[in-house]
Amino acid sequence: MQSTTQASSPTLLPAQASHLPGFHLRPNPGLALHQRATRERRLAGATEALEPLHRRLAGARARLRGAAEIDRRVAEIPEHYRVGRYLRVQRVVREEHSFRQARRGCPSPGTACRRITRRRFDIEFSIDRHAIAYDEKSDGMYRLLTNDRHLTAAQVFEAHKGQPAIEKRFEQVKTVHEIAPAFRKNEGRIEALFTLYFFALLAQALIERGLRGAMQREGLDELPLYPEHRPCRRPTTEQGASPVQPRAAPPPHARRRNRPGLRRATHRPAAPDPSPARRLPDRLPRPRLTTPPPAK
């Protein structure tokens, strides 16, 4: 049984991996440009995030006095941008010296002064260009690792292209067979249940292989298994075991209403009339204005 997988480790160079059995590389210029642009964008974002922290520590009111808090903030930024391999950040202690007179009074050339040393934390960061140059040599390399050492690079890549078919089987287990949820608590019973589902999936694959082989022998490219007898080029066991009855054709007047350019008639049922006792008049009587008689 052969298996192929994509190797995601960037530590092997093409020259180092060429002599490994089962390890194949395929260059992709577009992928190389994408990886290089992604690396530069992440490095730019990390350096821009470190600059405010550097200015804050250099200010008079940094409010970050503890070394543990500074180390935590420094470690969060490269981890967020995933550039810990290329960005070197370290916490340093800087000393600032100032001088004051030892005694009060006006200063003179012979006035004694004392030095006051103030220590504060700061950060220094730099980009490791050697690590970037090392990884740029493997940019655009699509790495494939297989346990079959007799396959060529083209055969390994062709076998790897069949991975969607394997993923399709997992999708059928979850949808057609409805393997989840499994209402079991004992691990042995769960393994036994999954084993039965595996046998069912194996039987389904064999049925589909036999059906498609029969289609190939008979010279058939498709079968009318979809609704309304539409053709199906890749029949599955679910479609073959439960054929769908064709849907009845709509009446002529319905087809005429659905034609483009014609307005569809919408019939809305009339609202029921309220009871006579609660029915309100359609129009309220208009009040009459009466003028008082003129005073004598």
- pLDDT one-digit tens code per residue, 263-284: 554 555 555 555 555 555 555 5
d(CA 124, CA 86) in angstroms, rounded, equals: 14
**Signed CA dihedral, 256, 259, 263, 269: sign only:** positive
Percent of the chain with pLDDT over 90: 14
Over the stretch 144-203, which tens digit does the pLDDT of each residue have?
Answer: 888 888 888 788 888 888 888 778 888 888 888 888 888 888 889 999 988 998 898 888
117 Cβ contact partners less than 8 Å away, ≥ 6 residues apart: 95, 96, 97
pLDDT value of residue 270: 57
d(CA 275, CA 30) in angstroms, rounded, equals: 76
pLDDT value of residue 48: 92
pTM beyond 0.85 = no
pLDDT value of residue 11: 46
Q: Is residue 159 within 8 Å of residue 151, measured between CB atoms? A: yes
Q: Is 219 left (phi over 0), alpha (psi -120 to 50) or beta?
A: left
Q: Could you tell me the end-to-end alpha-carbon distance of the chain, in angstroms, rounded to an integer?
A: 123
pLDDT value of residue 24: 57
- Phi/psi for 230 (5° steps) reads -75, 150
User: Taking all residues of the chain, what is their mean pLDDT, rounded to a whole number?
Assistant: 76
pLDDT value of residue 240: 62
**How sure is the predictor about 9, in pLDDT bands with cuts at 50, 70 and 90?**
very low
* Tally of CB atoms within 10 A around 42: 17
**How sure is the predictor about 131, in pLDDT bands with cuts at 50, 70 and 90?**
very high
pLDDT value of residue 46: 92
Q: Is residue 103 within 8 Å of residue 122, measured between CB atoms? A: no
Q: Is residue 208 within 8 Å of residue 235, measured between CB atoms? A: yes
242, two tokens = 């439960």
pLDDT value of residue 138: 85
pLDDT value of residue 18: 45
pLDDT value of residue 290: 59
Average pLDDT, integer, range 125-147: 87
66, two tokens = 């503890």
**How sure is the predictor about 256, in pLDDT bands with cuts at 50, 70 and 90?**
very low
Q: Is residue 144 within 8 Å of residue 5, measured between CB atoms? A: yes
Percent of the chain with pLDDT over 70: 71
d(CA 135, CA 12) in angstroms, rounded, equals: 9
Q: Is the pLDDT of residue 254 over 50?
A: no
pLDDT value of residue 80: 92
